[in-house]
């Protein structure tokens, strides 16, 4: 009799343990959202990445401000039309030259060919003679670096009375006019110890390099 009661008790205990096990819930594993994002990013194709980059670039290139800067000289008024992008970059769309209040000539500029990031860097002049013909030319900033600059230049043509663009001048870094020798000098450095010294002369309608010297290279 005691054995029967003992067997019934063991059966009862075993049944309760089995029921408890069946009621156990397996915990749900929650994956880190940042890991999911990373996995999705890793699965992006080159075309999808390129599309995202183009959309971001389009967003940065949106025009947020348009304005005009002007100067007077040589009997003209020069108006530089500026556009500021969302990225902060400033582009020049055109330059209008007015005479007696009327449009005399328009100077066009290639889109996105300028690298200027602040209003105070927008530099242009109409009172300098760069080809030493006794007529003032029109110069407009092109690119601004930490210490180096390059410029657009339109030379005044005495025969037509208008300005002509000089592509060769845009290649000169930090140009300085020497009226006595009728030369353009260029000095700049690359790295902490290498300095470049160049001299240009205006010959046959363009600026030609006549002297070159490098100091500190390879030392």
pLDDT digits (tens, 9 = 90+) for 51-77: 777 776 666 668 888 999 999 999 999
The mean pLDDT of 92-107, rounded to a whole number, is 95
Residue 172 has pLDDT above 80, yes or no: yes
Q: Quote the pLDDT of residue 209.
A: 96
pTM of the model: 0.72
What number of CA atoms fall less than 13 Å from residue 79's CA on the CB side? 14
Report the 10 Å Cβ neighbour count for 98. 15
Query: End-to-end alpha-carbon separation of the chain, Å?
Result: 107
Q: At which residue do the structure tokens 């670039």 appear?
A: 57
Q: Quote the pLDDT of residue 33.
A: 47
Residue 203 has pLDDT above 70, yes or no: yes
Q: How confident is the model at residue 24 (pLDDT cuts 50, 70, 90)?
A: very low
Closest CA to 122 of 98, 146, 107, 139: 139
pLDDT digits (tens, 9 = 90+) for 141-154: 998 877 789 999 99
Least confident of 133-142, 143-152, 162-171: 143-152
Q: Quote the pLDDT of residue 47.
A: 77
């Amino acid at each position: 009799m005691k054995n029967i009661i003992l067997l019934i008790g063991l059966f009862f205990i075993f049944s309760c343990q089995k029921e408890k096990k069946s009621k156990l819930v397996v915990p749900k594993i929650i994956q880190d959202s940042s890991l999911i994002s990373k996995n999705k990013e890793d699965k992006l194709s080159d075309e999808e990445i390129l599309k995202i980059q183009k959309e971001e670039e389009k967003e940065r290139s949106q025009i947020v401000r348009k304005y005009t800067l002007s100067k007077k000289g040589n009997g003209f008024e020069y108006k530089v039309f500026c556009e500021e992008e969302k990225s902060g970059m400033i582009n020049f769309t055109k330059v209008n030259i007015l005479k007696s209040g009327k449009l005399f000539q328009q100077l066009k500029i290639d889109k996105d060919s300028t690298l200027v990031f602040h209003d105070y860097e927008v530099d242009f002049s109409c009172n300098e003679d760069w080809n030493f013909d006794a007529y003032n030319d029109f110069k407009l900033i092109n690119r601004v670096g930490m210490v180096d600059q390059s410029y657009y230049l339109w030379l005044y043509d005495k025969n037509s009375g208008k300005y002509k663009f000089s592509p060769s001048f845009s290649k000169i870094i930090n140009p300085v006019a020497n009226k006595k020798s009728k030369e353009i000098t260029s000095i700049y450095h690359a790295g902490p110890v290498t300095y470049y010294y160049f001299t240009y002369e205006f010959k046959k309608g363009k600026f030609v390099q006549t002297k070159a010297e490098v100091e500190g290279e390879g030392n």
